[in-house]
Each structure stands twice: as C-alpha cells, then as structure tokens.
Structure 1
C-alpha cells in the first residue's frame, strides 16, 4: 500500500502559513522568521520573566543557524524592535532585548499568530487538536534527530 506524502502536505502548509503571516506583518517591515524571534523574546519575558537572551541561545531555541540569527537580528535592530548588548561578564556574548518599539507591536503579533492557529484548527475538536499537535511535535523531533 502506497502512503500519501506527509512531506508534501507539511511543505504546502508551511508555505501557506508563511505567506499568510508575511502578508500581515509587512506593515511592520517584518517577515515570519523575525516574528518567530520576537515571539520567543516576548514569551521569555511573559512566561519566564527573562528579558535578554544570547544570540546563540536564541538560535538554539528556534533551530536557526548563527548566520540566519545574525541577519534577522540586524533587520530587527535596524527597524528598532530589538537591541543587542554585550554581556558584562563575557564580552564575546551578545544578548538580545526587545525595545519599547518592539513591545508596541507585541499584541499585533500575538493576534496574527492566534488567527493562524484559529484558521488551522477552526473545525477541529479539542481531542483532534491535541492529537495533531502531538503528531507534529513527533514529526519535528523525528526530522530534527536526522539533521
């Protein structure tokens, strides 16, 4: 029995989500990767009371390479959404902080991401939603272990 390609559907879904988010954050001169970075910084503050994070830690949390993190942070910094400070204890480490301007768009970003979730799971039951999240996490972990 032939299986339908999961990768094909995940890839299509990823493209649609990227397009949807990019269209809505264009007014802030952002893209989906920059939104992911801001969301991680917002969540660290909101749920863990952590205000700054090193660029390396940020990349590890988001599974982004150093070059991508640096490029995206350059844009976020140039737009005034984040600042980078040298760690006082170790001047080789740069820490990233959200600025006031970055915090001004926090609710807009959260609303856009909430809308994506609602669109994706709008007709799912709670049980279906839990199952799909569990399966997506497993798929992510499966592929991450091979990369």
Structure 2
C-alpha cells in the first residue's frame, strides 16, 4: 500500500476485489475460465427458465454490450453455454448452460461461498451487518449519481 492509500476507500475496495478475483481465477484456471465467467455461467443457469438474454447480463454485471458479447462468445466456443433464437422474439437469443457448464456449477457456488465466508470470518456478526449496510448505502448513492 502506498503512503496515504490506507485511508483511501476506492483503493481498499479495489484491493479486496482484486485479491478475491485472483483467488477465484486461480481455482478456475484449470477449466479455462475466470471468476467473471464462472459467475456468468452460474447466473445464466439459475435464470435460464425465465428466458435470460444478453441485455439481462449487461444490466446485472454492469458491463457494456461488446464486453458481454465477447464473454458469451468465449463461453460458447468452450462449450459451456449456447445461444438459441427465442420462440417469442426472433430478434433475441436466449442463453442456456450446456452440460459441460452444469457440471461445474456446484464448484462455482462453493468457490463464491468461500469468498463470502473469507470476508465474514474476520468480522463479528454485528460488524458484518454494519459493513453490509454501509456498502449498500455507498452503492445506492453512487448508482443515483450515475443516472
């Protein structure tokens, strides 16, 4: 940490995120995936019955269309997901997790639960609730300022 960074919220939040991402990326590297791709596969699997499309992922993962397109193309080439033209709207492609992806969902969920637990382990129940409340407040404030 550089001098002065110890009181910089942006630096600290990014540092925590990077540490958690690196940890997850190392675990998923054997599958040719990173943590973002693992989260995306899990999200698609848990929402595919509702008919999830790319726009949904753009909103949930807060990424631009081109970034999501690139990620989906990579997951499709690796055989984790597929896109099918929607019966309800031929202009849209619904997303589905293939068997290869479904076989990894339990591992993704365990990995993300471990990350969550790692955050919580150093905090009391009261501190966890307070941190969650404060981070939610900051997130809501920043979201309002962006619109």
* TM-score, scaled relative to structure 2: 0.87
Q: What's the C-alpha RMSD, in Å, of the aligned pairs?
A: 1.9
Q: Say how many residue pairs are matched.
A: 142
Deviation of the 1:145 alpha carbon:
2.8
Alignment of 1:1-147 (within 5 A): 4-44=7-47, 50=49, 52-147=51-146
SS in structure 1 opposite 2:7? coil
Cα deviation 1:91-136 (Å, max 9, x = unaligned)? 1111111111111001111111111111111122222212212222
Distance 2:42 2:129 in 1: 22
Q: Aligned equivalents of 1:131 and 1:42: distance in 2?
A: 31
Q: CA deviation at 1:34?
A: 0.9
CA contact (8 A) 2:51 2:95 kept: yes
Aligned residues of 2:39 and 2:108 also touching (Cα < 8 A): no
Contact persistence 1:80–1:99 (CA under 8 A): yes
SS in 2 for 1:22: helix
Distance 2:51 2:129 in 1: 31
CA distance in structure 1 between the aligned counterparts of 2:50 and 2:103, rounded to whole angstroms: 16
Shift of 1:51: 5.2
How much does 1:89 deviate? 2.2
Structure 2: gaps (5+ residues): 1-5
SS at match of 1:53: coil
For structure 1, the 5+ residue unaligned runs are none
TM-score if structure 1 supplies the norm length? 0.87
